[in-house]
Structure 1
Amino acid sequence: MFYDPLTIWSFTTFSTLLIAGVLLVSWIMWPGENALGYWGTAFVLTTMGLAGLAARGVVPGFVSIELSNAALLLAWGLGWNGFRAFDRRRPVMLLPAVLIAAWLAICQLPGFRDDAVARMWVMLAFTALLVVLSIRELYRRRADRLVSRRLAMGLLAVHLFTMFARPGLLLLGVATVNVEGNVLLDPSLMAYAFELVAFQLLMAFCVIGMVRERRERHFEEAALVDDLTGLLNRRGFQARTREVAAGGGPVAVLVLDLDRFKAINDVYGHAAGDEVLCLFAQVLRNNLRGTDIVARLGGEEFGIVLPGADVGTAREIAERIRLAFRQAGEGLPMREARLSASIGIAVGELPALAPVEALSVLQERADMALYAAKQGGRDRVMVHRPGDWNAGQMGGERRAASPHS
Structure 2
Amino acid sequence: MLDLDFLTLYIVIFLNSLTVTVVWAAFAYIYRPHSASVHWLAACALSLVGGIVLAVQGNEGALVPAIAGNTIIIFGFSQFWIGLRRFRNMAGGQGAAVAITAIAFGLMVAMHDNDRGRAMVYAGGQSTVMLVCLIHLLRNRLPGIGAFIAIVAFSVAGLGQIMVIVTNWAVLAGTLDYAVYYALASYALLCTVFSGTVWNLGFAMMTVDSLHQRLARLSETDELTGLANRRALQRALDAAGLRGSGHSVLLIDLNDFKPLNDTHGHAAGDAALQFFGRLISECVRSTDVVARIGGDEFCILLPGATRDDAEEIAREIRTRLQDTPFMWQGRSLALSASIGAAQSREAMGTQEDLVAVADRRLYKDKVLHKTVESQVQPSKMVS
Paired AA for residue 331 in structure 1: M
Q: How far apart are the structure 1 equivalents of 2:371 and 2:87? A: 47
String of CA shifts for 1:39-78, please: whole Å, max 9, x gaps: 22212322343454552665641331x3232112201211
1:207 to partner: Cα distance: 2.6
Q: Which has the larger displacement, 75-84 or 43-52?
A: 43-52
Query: Relative to structure 1, is the Cα distance of residues 21 and 335 closer, same or farther in structure 2, using a 3 angstrom cutoff?
Result: closer
Q: How far apart are the structure 2 equivalents of 1:121 and 1:349? A: 71
Paired AA for residue 17 in structure 1: L
Alignment of 1:45-84 (within 5 A): 45-53=46-54, 55=57, 58=60, 60-64=62-66, 66-84=67-85
Contact kept, 8 Å, 2:339 with 2:362, in 1: the verdict is yes
What is the RMSD computed on CA atoms of the aligned residues? 3.4
Whether 1:21 aligns to 2:22 is: yes
Query: Relative to structure 1, is the Cα distance of residues 362 and 19 closer, same or farther in structure 2, using a 3 angstrom cutoff?
Result: same
1:378 to partner: Cα distance: 6.7
Residue of structure 1 aligned with 2:158, choices 132, 157, 160: 160
2:227 aligned counterpart, secondary structure: coil
1:275 to partner: Cα distance: 1.4
Alignment of 1:145-184 (within 5 A): 145-167=143-165, 176=176, 178=178
1:186 to partner: Cα distance: 1.2
Query: Relative to structure 1, is the Cα distance of residues 310 and 132 closer, same or farther in structure 2, using a 3 angstrom cutoff?
Result: farther
Query: Relative to structure 1, is the Cα distance of residues 345 and 12 closer, same or farther in structure 2, using a 3 angstrom cutoff?
Result: same
1:249 aligned counterpart, secondary structure: coil
1:177 to partner: Cα distance: 6.9
Aligned to 1:365: 357
Query: Relative to structure 1, is the Cα distance of residues 329 and 291 closer, same or farther in structure 2, using a 3 angstrom cutoff?
Result: same
Residue of structure 2 aligned with 1:375, choices 364, 367, 380: 367
Structure 2 unaligned blocks of 5 or more:
373-383
1:377 aligned counterpart, secondary structure: helix
Q: TM-score, normalised by structure 1?
A: 0.78
Query: Relative to structure 1, is the Cα distance of residues 333 and 93 closer, same or farther in structure 2, using a 3 angstrom cutoff?
Result: closer
Q: TM-score, normalised by structure 2?
A: 0.82
Q: How far apart are the structure 1 equivalents of 2:364 and 2:346? A: 24
Contact kept, 8 Å, 2:36 with 2:84, in 1: the verdict is yes
2:369 aligned counterpart, secondary structure: coil
Contact kept, 8 Å, 2:240 with 2:247, in 1: the verdict is no
| Bigger helix share | 2
Query: Relative to structure 1, is the Cα distance of residues 141 and 162 closer, same or farther in structure 2, using a 3 angstrom cutoff?
Result: same
* % identity of equivalent residues: 25
Q: How far apart are the structure 2 equivalents of 1:334 and 1:342? A: 26
Kindly tell me the number of residue pairs found equivalent between the two proteins.
367
1:345 aligned counterpart, secondary structure: strand
1:168 to partner: Cα distance: 6.0
Contact kept, 8 Å, 2:10 with 2:54, in 1: the verdict is no
Contact kept, 8 Å, 2:227 with 2:277, in 1: the verdict is yes
Structure 1 unaligned blocks of 5 or more:
381-405
Paired AA for residue 157 in structure 2: H
Paired AA for residue 369 in structure 2: G
1:138 to partner: Cα distance: 3.8
1:139 to partner: Cα distance: 4.8
1:342 to partner: Cα distance: 1.8
Aligned to 2:378: none
Contact kept, 8 Å, 1:233 with 1:296, in 2: the verdict is yes
Q: Which has the larger displacement, 295-304 or 122-131?
A: 122-131
Q: Which has the larger displacement, 43-52 or 291-300?
A: 43-52
Q: How far apart are the structure 2 equivalents of 1:369 and 1:362? A: 11
Alignment of 1:92-131 (within 5 A): 92-109=93-110, 112-131=111-130
2:327 aligned counterpart, secondary structure: coil
Query: Relative to structure 1, is the Cα distance of residues 321 and 130 closer, same or farther in structure 2, using a 3 angstrom cutoff?
Result: farther
Aligned to 1:387: none
Contact kept, 8 Å, 1:117 with 1:177, in 2: the verdict is no
1:376 aligned counterpart, secondary structure: helix
Contact kept, 8 Å, 1:250 with 1:349, in 2: the verdict is yes
Q: How far apart are the structure 2 equivalents of 1:39 and 1:330? A: 47
Whether 1:338 aligns to 2:327 is: no
Q: How far apart are the structure 1 equivalents of 2:334 and 2:131? A: 59
1:373 to partner: Cα distance: 1.7
